[in-house]
Amino acid sequence: MMKTHKPMYHYSPYLRRCLAMAAAGLLAGCHPGSRNDASSSGQHERDEKVQTAYYKYLQGNLGGKKVTLQLTKSDGQYDGIFYEDSLARPVTISGSTDTAGHITLVTYRQYDPVDTLQGTFSQPGVFSGYCKPAEQEGKGSQAAPAAFALQEIYSEGTRRWQVYRLQDSLSLKPGDSSSPKARIAYTLLWPGKGWPDAGHLLVQQTLAGDLLGLHTPVTAGAQALRNAADSFLTTYKQARANLSPGFAAGTFNWESQIRMELLWNAGDIVSLACNRYEYTGGAHGQTNTLLVVWDLKHARILERGDLFRPGYEKKLQQVLEQKLRRAYDIPEKAALNSRRYGILFDKHLNLTDNFYLTGHGIGFIYNPYEVAPYAVGPIELFVPFSELQDVLKNPGGVPAT
């Protein structure tokens, strides 16, 4: 089924449920508001810092292997997604620049460091240097550093992006340096130059409406970011105005973090992750990752049913359950919700609409409380297309229509 863009915001089923949870207070932060609402608090109460950052799509070779690096930079800090074709799934990468201008980037998988890239932009758009593999326990010798050379190239079907970052805060007791505060730290990705009009509009609508929770159309990334920040801080102001005697000050150290990252950006397919953390009082904050996949060639948001043939559900569930068992060391015959080995609420792993696509496979992220207790944390499972050939509409994962 093809989903074309509409004049107003389109909400995918998964995002619609998440926004409904937000309205119920389980995921805070999607509060309606306006710039005027928050700014009426007085700028002296707030510590605002807005930045722009760059996005680079780099391709090349590392030790004879084809790799892709999507990199953002702000204030000397780097973040991004790293791909090695032979590994199929994306890994996160982050790092910084030293005083001599050398860049050190570390790739991570499941929070463990994997490789370290050290190099420089030897010329505009060319990042080169050496990659040092992570040390492994029990290994007498390590592989020698491998040379890499990555060039900024935007092939047909790869999009340019703008990056906006904002930090802001609002004191519970203005003028008191020890006062509890509401703090925000947002990183927003926004369509850059050279986009087709239909795809540009669809992505703007999804980012502002589905992911930032704004209720009115916004066409500028910086304004979307400010409106989202003002909505959260306006809610804090309202809570501040209704304080009861003897309130617990610690519960008013509110926090809201949003960080967007691109998991795939090629072949007119864009997979984006919106990582959120929010604390608005209570035992702990809420962490969630919302995923969206755009087919920009046809100006639509992809859903599971667009990728698979009818009757795929049982096969996909079996594959995901096997991935889950391997990831969490659950014996083959043990129930997934058993007391000794299990981690889930139910005996079987329900399918989720929260997925991303790459050129090699499909990844699923289950957020805390979705299928397992909060202590389990997010569950991420990745399935190469090669393991789903009998249920995919197209061997390459993306439907041809």
Specify the 3-state DSSP secondary structure of 112.
strand
User: CA of 386: how far to CAs of 270, 315, 316, 360, in Å?
Assistant: 21, 13, 12, 8
Distance CA 293, CA 397 (A): 12
Question: Which residues are paired to 120 by β-bridges?
Answer: 128
Q: In this structure, what token pair is assigned to residue 276?
A: 């959120």
Q: Which pTM does this prediction carry?
A: 0.85
Buried b (16+ CB within 10 A) or exposed e, 40-52: ebeeebbeeeeee
Residue with tokens 């691109």: 262
Alpha-carbon gap, residue 25 to 198, rounded angstroms: 34
- pLDDT at position 111 is 65
Q: Among all chains, which residue has been given the structure tokens 């150290």?
A: 253
Using CA atoms, how far apart are residues 81 and 72, in angstroms rounded to an integer? 9
Q: Which among 233, 234, 266, 239 is positioned nearest to 251, based on CA atoms?
A: 239
Q: What is the pLDDT of residue 242?
A: 87
Distance CA 134, CA 114 (A): 5
- Which residues share a beta bridge with 104? 96, 118
Q: Tell me the C-alpha distance between 382 and 83, whole Å.
A: 14
Alpha-carbon distance 364 to 286, whole Å? 19
What residues have CB less than 8 Å from 312, skipping those under 6 apart? 391
pLDDT the model gives residue 246? 76
Residues of the chain with pLDDT under 70: 1-50, 110-111, 135-142, 399-401
CA distance 117 to 120: 10
Measured in residues, the chain has a length of 401
Tens of pLDDT, residue by residue over 134-146, are: 765 455 556 788 9
The pLDDT of residue 48: 57
Per-residue confidence (pLDDT) for residue 134, from 0 to 100: 73
Determine the Cα–Cα distance for residues 157 and 161; give it in Å rounded to an integer. Answer: 13
